[in-house]
């Protein structure tokens, strides 16, 4: 088993964060206070910290494969079938896609399915799956 990842991130509404991460994505909650909530995000610890709306950072973007990818984002790498199920769950729950599900680097070594969504506090999340997980850290830049 890999070490678990911990990420603390800002939210402007804890109950909206709970509804999104726990209610829609199915992430169980852990410890919490009136200022933060722990979520089990696919085996990793996310901690949503309450901030004032004016203190929430804005999101710049970078061009990747013809899309404006939010520079500040986090997410999960899933098995292909799990990713497809997540896409259907998001569609069924009316989640708006920032970047619609598509195949990035199609036909190349780093081929991956990816999508971006936004949580209620405008944090960007990426969900993706590699056709060949061995390409996760490949350095063959010609494939990209």
Count of the separate structural domains present in the chain:
2
113 close to 103: Cβ distance less than 8 angstroms: yes
Residue 77 in this model has a pLDDT that exceeds 50? yes
Q: Examine the domain organization and report whether 46 and 70 are in the same domain.
A: no
CATH of the domain at 34: 3.10.180.10
- pTM over the 0.75 mark: yes
What's the burial of 98, exposed, middle or buried (CB within 10 Å: 0-12/13-18/19+)?
Answer: buried
Q: Examine the domain organization and report whether 91 and 114 are in the same domain.
A: yes
- What domain range is 6 assigned to? 1-52
Pull the structure tokens for residue 122.
Answer: 């405008």
Q: Examine the domain organization and report whether 43 and 77 are in the same domain.
A: no
Average pLDDT over residues 3-10: 94
Average pLDDT over residues 49-73: 89
Average pLDDT over residues 45-60: 91
Show which of 33, 52, 71 is a domain's final residue.
52
106-142: b or e for each residue (b if 16 or more CB lie within 10 Å)? Answer: eeeebbbbbbbbbbbbbbbbbbbbbbeeebeeeeeee
Q: Examine the domain organization and report whether 40 and 65 are in the same domain.
A: no
What's the burial of 96, exposed, middle or buried (CB within 10 Å: 0-12/13-18/19+)?
Answer: exposed
- What pLDDT, on a 0 to 100 scale, did the predictor assign at position 143? 42
Identify the CA nearest to 7 among candidates 58, 98, 95, 73: 73
Look up tokens 């999960």; give the residue: 76
Average pLDDT over residues 43-59: 91
């Amino acid at each position: 088993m890999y070490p678990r990842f911990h990420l603390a991130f800002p939210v402007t509404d804890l109950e909206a964060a709970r509804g999104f991460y726990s209610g829609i994505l199915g992430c169980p909650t852990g410890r919490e206070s009136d200022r933060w909530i722990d979520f089990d995000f696919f085996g990793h610890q996310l901690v949503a910290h309450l901030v004032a709306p004016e203190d929430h950072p804005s999101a710049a973007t970078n061009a990747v494969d013809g899309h404006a990818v939010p520079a500040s984002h986090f997410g999960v790498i899933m098995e292909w079938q799990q990713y497809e199920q997540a896409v259907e769950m998001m569609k069924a729950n009316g989640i708006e896609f920032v970047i619609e599900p598509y195949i990035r680097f199609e036909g190349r070594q780093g081929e991956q399915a990816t999508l971006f969504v936004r949580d209620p506090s405008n944090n960007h999340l990426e969900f993706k799956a590699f056709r060949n997980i061995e390409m996760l850290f490949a350095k063959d830049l010609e494939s990209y």
